[in-house]
């Protein structure tokens, strides 16, 4: 998939993208980042991700506070996060739609539909109305799964393959930034203006996101005709392709292990502060900010690292850095724990970016929506179960046991990823008819 066949990037001349990418290999992180940002598609897409991601993260926290104020129930407030997370379990099934429509059209249509959906919470006034919030958040979660699959596939048509590592790193940095700022601003807006206003602002963010996505210029191939194949069979094709692929499966599983370990670690935070460090709960904000800084740096350097080392090596290194950071939290020392938080933020994006970039590189276009959705399910769906397990562990065990388990899981995943042998010749997954003849458009045409 990663072929040099005259992609056009900034100069409008054949081969410009690949030539500039080779130059970046020697000039480092900054050149790769700036080259990506010179591209109109990249700027427009990142603007859409930041706007819609900011609205989503603000609304999620505001919804939990809203439900808590209306009902006084901690369990119902926690159900808010579950509603937004649960659709990820159906990722392979939902993502099939991204292979049956043009991805840009699907992104715009889904964003517009979610903008309409987000006007419904304006009617929430009493505890009897909270079901409406749960319904809306479930629909938004479903739309998010669909948009993630469509975005992953669209980027393969809009961005040359040799620059996708830098691009995915920038996108991860943007997501981390909105995750840090969105909840704080959402809680503040809820306190000052109320829940309906936050919902309307989130609806506006979807409208602006739709406008941004509509400006992306990409020559997408026509969706493959699958009139004789059932939806379930088509979804199974995506699962089968990923699981049989000797490169994709270990990278995606490693990403899932990283997110599972992260959830185990994060649920021990308040016990760590109270028992381990003797700090107030508010100090969690300091550690979160330090981890966020590490995530921003990790996302920015990922592309440069992927030009120098294989995705499998970067993923393993990221897991080791992450695990060292988690184990540092056992120390009981505020400076060491702070450095550990920085390392957690630095290392965690690398397995995720490695898996995503490789999915885009190794998957035929006609399967990319389903395979991307399946990968997202395997990476992110376990986090909900890990949060439940972590909550139970912190209530019954010393928090250091939980941190040790998270660190060991990260190290074990790194070792398995680093030592897993390459598949012998002849075991590569079988391509669908015509797959080998349908390259990603960004690799072959002027976008």
Contact indicator for 186, 56 with CB cutoff of 8 Å = no
Instruction: Considering only residues 172 and 298, tell me which one the structure prediction assigns the higher pLDDT.
Output: 298
Say if CB 67 and CB 133 are below 8 A apart. Answer: yes
| Predicted confidence (pLDDT) at residue 115 exceeds the cutoff of 50 | yes
- State yes or no: pLDDT of 177 exceeds 50: yes
- Confidence band for 381, pLDDT divided at 50, 70 and 90: confident
Which pLDDT does position 164 carry in this prediction?
A: 80
Of 67, 368, 397, nearest to 237 by C-alpha is: 368
Q: What angle do CA 240, 244, 245 make, to 5 degrees?
A: 115
- CA 382 to chain centroid, in Å, comes to 13
How much of the chain exceeds pLDDT 90, in percent?
38
The DSSP string of 257-301 is HHHHHHHHHHTTHHHIIIIII---TTHHHHHHHHHHHHHHHHHHH
Beta-carbon neighbour count of residue 232 at 10 Å?
A: 11
- Kindly report, residue by residue over 194-249, the tens digit of the pLDDT: 889 999 999 999 999 999 999 888 777 777 655 567 888 889 999 999 999 999 99
Are 104 and 144 a contacting pair, CB within 8 Å? no
Of 424, 436, 307, residue with least CA distance to 363: 436
Please count the residues of the chain: 447
Token pair listed for 307 = 């030009």
The pTM of this model reads: 0.78
Paired with 8 in beta bridges are 446
Q: For a pLDDT cut of 70, what percent of the chain falls above it? A: 85
Tens of pLDDT, residue by residue over 311-341, are 999 999 999 999 999 999 999 899 999 999 9
Q: Is 230 helix (H, G, I), strand (E, B) or coil?
A: coil
What is the greatest pairwise CA distance in the chain? 63
Instruction: Please compute, for residue 431, the number of CA atoms within 13 A of its CA located in the half-sphere on the CB side.
Output: 14
pLDDT at res. 304 = 87
Q: What pLDDT score was predicted for residue 413?
A: 96
Based on its alpha-carbon atoms, the radius of gyration of the chain, rounded to whole angstroms, reads: 22
C-beta atoms surrounding 77 within 10 Å:
19
Buried b (16+ CB within 10 A) or exposed e, 181-195: ebbebbbebbeeeeb
- 418 pLDDT above the threshold of 80: yes
Nearest alpha carbon to residue 33 among 21, 18, 50, 19: 21
For the purposes of burial, counting CB atoms within 10 Å of the CB of 173, is it exposed (0-12), middle (13-18) or buried (19 or more)?
A: buried
């Amino acid at each position: 998939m990663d072929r040099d066949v005259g992609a056009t990037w900034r100069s409008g001349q054949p081969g410009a993208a690949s030539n500039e990418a080779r130059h970046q290999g020697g000039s480092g992180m900054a050149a790769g980042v700036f080259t990506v940002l010179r591209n109109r598609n990249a700027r427009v897409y990142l603007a859409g991700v930041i706007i819609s991601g900011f609205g989503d993260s603000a609304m999620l926290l505001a919804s939990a506070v809203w439900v808590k104020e209306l009902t006084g129930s901690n369990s119902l407030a926690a159900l808010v996060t579950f509603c937004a997370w649960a659709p990820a379990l159906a990722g392979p099934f939902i993502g099939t739609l991204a292979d049956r429509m043009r991805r840009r059209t699907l992104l715009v249509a889904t964003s517009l539909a979610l903008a309409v959906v987000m006007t419904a919470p304006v009617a929430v006034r009493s505890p009897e109305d909270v079901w409406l919030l749960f319904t809306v958040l479930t629909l938004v979660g479903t739309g998010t799964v669909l948009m993630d699959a469509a975005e992953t596939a669209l980027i393969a048509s809009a961005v040359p393959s040799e620059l996708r590592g830098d691009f995915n790193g920038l996108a991860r940095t943007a997501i981390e930034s909105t995750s840090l700022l969105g909840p704080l601003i959402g809680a503040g807006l809820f306190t000052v203006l109320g829940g309906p206003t936050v919902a309307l602002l989130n609806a506006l963010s979807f409208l602006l996101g739709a406008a941004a996505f509509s400006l992306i210029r990409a020559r997408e191939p026509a969706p493959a005709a699958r009139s004789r194949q059932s939806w379930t069979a088509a979804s199974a094709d995506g699962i089968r392709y990923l699981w049989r692929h000797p490169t994709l499966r270990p990278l995606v599983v490693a990403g899932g292990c990283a997110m599972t370990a992260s959830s185990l670690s994060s649920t021990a935070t308040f016990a760590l502060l109270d028992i381990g460090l003797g700090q107030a709960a508010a100090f969690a904000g300091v550690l979160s900010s330090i981890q966020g800084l590490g995530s921003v740096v990790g996302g920015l350097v990922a592309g440069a690292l992927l030009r120098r080392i294989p995705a499998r090596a970067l993923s393993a290194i990221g897991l080791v850095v992450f695990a060292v950071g988690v184990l540092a939290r056992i120390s009981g020392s505020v400076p060491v724990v702070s450095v550990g938080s920085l390392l957690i933020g630095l290392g965690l994006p690398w397995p995720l970016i490695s898996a995503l970039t490789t999915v885009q590189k190794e998957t035929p276009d006609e399967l990319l929506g389903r395979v991307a959705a399946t990968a997202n399910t395997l990476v992110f769906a376990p986090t909900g179960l890990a949060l439940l397990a972590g909550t139970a562990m912190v209530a019954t065990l010393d928090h250091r046991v939980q941190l040790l388990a998270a660190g060991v899981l990260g190290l074990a995943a790194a070792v398995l990823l680093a030592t897993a042998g390459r598949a012998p010749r002849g075991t590569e997954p079988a391509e669908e008819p015509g797959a080998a003849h349908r390259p990603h458009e960004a690799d072959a045409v002027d976008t």
